[in-house]
């Protein structure tokens, strides 16, 4: 299934009744099994765009559509920065939530619940409650919940930004391994350039005021080998290229903060 974002724009009315053009003329596609990263400075419209692609918000102009599917509504898996687990449900009950909502049988819930809990490394914690888990473990449970519905598109909005640096690095590595096993089409939002270069097949760089596509960069390094010394120089070159595209806007964002 291919996801097409066509001429999307979004205008908000702010508290002073002024029009804010958050997004303008956004055109791109996400191919089957492709991992696309949206990167840009604070306020460039990354989350707004992800919400529009996920159908959580409607665009002011343009459209998002899915090509080549079964004709049924596409299934989406979403992971947010804020770990949105139900505190009164165990890890297992959280992970199977989407499946239950979709009317899956008890047997299917058990099989898929077990499979995806294992995939994110939470086997043994099925009966734990969110408050008993570390930040990284909560986010793993959130990822398993999104994966368990076997989505046509996985949407991730800064999923690791609340984690400490070491946990974040480990989670990035694990996400690559998970992606390699599932090959899900993914749209991933971050403002961390290294994360974008490490994970993305393509990185879409957004500018701000209004949020527009500044550049789309193909990351031409083998996906599972990007941490290798062999690719260090190329990794840095991509990171510098993206930073040079963002730097001016990031400075402007800082002045407004
Ligand atoms: N509900 C809203 N009402 C008014 N303005 C909004 C609303 N939501 C977002 N905006 C504005 O739209 C622009 C884009 O916001 P958005 O949160 O999508 O950016 P972002 O790139 O995800 O930012 P960050 O990296 O800081 O999370 C900003 O200028 C923001 O102030």
CATH number at residue 249: 3.40.50.300
Question: Does 79 map to a domain?
Answer: no
pLDDT confidence tier of residue 257, bands split at 50, 70 and 90: low
Give the DSSP H or E segment for 212. strand 212-218
d(CA 38, CA 223): 17
pLDDT confidence tier of residue 176, bands split at 50, 70 and 90: very high
**3-class DSSP assignment, residue 126:** coil
The answer to whether residues 16 and 135 belong to one domain is: no
* Ligand 1 nearest atom to the CA of residue 45, by list position: 18
The answer to whether residues 108 and 137 belong to one domain is: yes
**Adjacency order of strands within the sheet including 2-13:** 19-30, 2-13, 61-67
Q: What percent helix, strand, coil does the chain show, rounded to 5?
A: 40, 25, 35
Which ipTM value was assigned to this complex? 0.95
Q: Of 111, 127, 151, which residue sits at a domain end?
A: 151
The answer to whether residues 54 and 165 belong to one domain is: yes
* Ligand 1 nearest atom to the CA of residue 157, by list position: 22
- Could you read off the pLDDT of 183-218 as tens digits, one per residue? 999 999 998 999 999 999 999 999 988 899 999 999
Burial class, 219, CB count within 10 angstroms (exposed 0-12 / middle 13-18 / buried 19+): buried
* Ligand 1 nearest atom to the CA of residue 40, by list position: 21
Distance 21 CA to ligand 1 centre (A): 10
| Ligand 1 contacts CB of residue 214 (under 6 A) | no
- Could you read off the pLDDT of 83-137 as tens digits, one per residue? 789 999 999 999 999 999 989 999 999 999 999 999 999 999 999 999 999 988 9
Q: Provide the residue range defining the domain that includes 134.
A: 85-151
Q: Of 124, 151, 178, which residue sits at a domain end?
A: 151
- What's the rounded mean pLDDT across residues 30-38? 96
Report which protein residue has its CA nearest ligand 1's atom 25.
42
d(CA 14, CA 106): 46
Give the DSSP H or E segment for 178. helix 165-182
Tell me what pLDDT residue 175 has: 94
| Ligand 1 contacts CB of residue 9 (under 6 A) | no
The answer to whether residues 101 and 21 belong to one domain is: no
Residue 77 Cα distances to 16, 36, 59, 169, angstroms: 35, 15, 20, 22
């Amino acid at each position: 299934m291919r996801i097409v974002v066509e001429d999307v724009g979004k205008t908000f009315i702010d508290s002073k009744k002024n029009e804010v053009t958050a997004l303008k003329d956004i055109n791109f596609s996400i191919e089957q099994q492709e991992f696309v990263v949206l990167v840009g400075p604070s306020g460039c419209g990354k989350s707004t765009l992800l919400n529009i692609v996920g159908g959580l918000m409607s665009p002011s102009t343009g459209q998002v559509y899915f090509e080549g599917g079964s004709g049924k509504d596409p299934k989406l898996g979403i992971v947010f920065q804020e770990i949105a687990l139900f505190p009164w449900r165990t890890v297992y009950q959280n992970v199977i939530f989407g499946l239950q909502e979709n009317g899956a049988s008890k047997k299917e819930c058990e099989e898929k619940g077990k499979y995806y809990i294992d995939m994110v490394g939470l086997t043994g914690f099925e009966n734990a409650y969110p408050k008993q888990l570390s930040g990284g473990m909560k986010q793993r449970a959130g990822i398993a919940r999104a994966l368990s519905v076997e989505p046509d598109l996985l949407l991730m909005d800064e999923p690791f930004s609340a984690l400490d640096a070491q946990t974040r690095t480990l989670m990035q590595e694990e996400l690559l391994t998970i992606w390699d096993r599932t090959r899900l089409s993914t749209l991933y939002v971050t403002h961390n350039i290294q994360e974008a270069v490490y994970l993305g097949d393509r990185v879409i760089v957004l500018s701000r005021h209004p949020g527009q596509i500044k550049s789309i960069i193909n990351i031409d390094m083998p996906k599972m080998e990007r941490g290798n010394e062999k690719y260090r120089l190329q990794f840095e070159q991509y990171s510098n290229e993206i930073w040079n595209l963002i730097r001016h806007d990031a400075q402007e964002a800082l002045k407004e903060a």
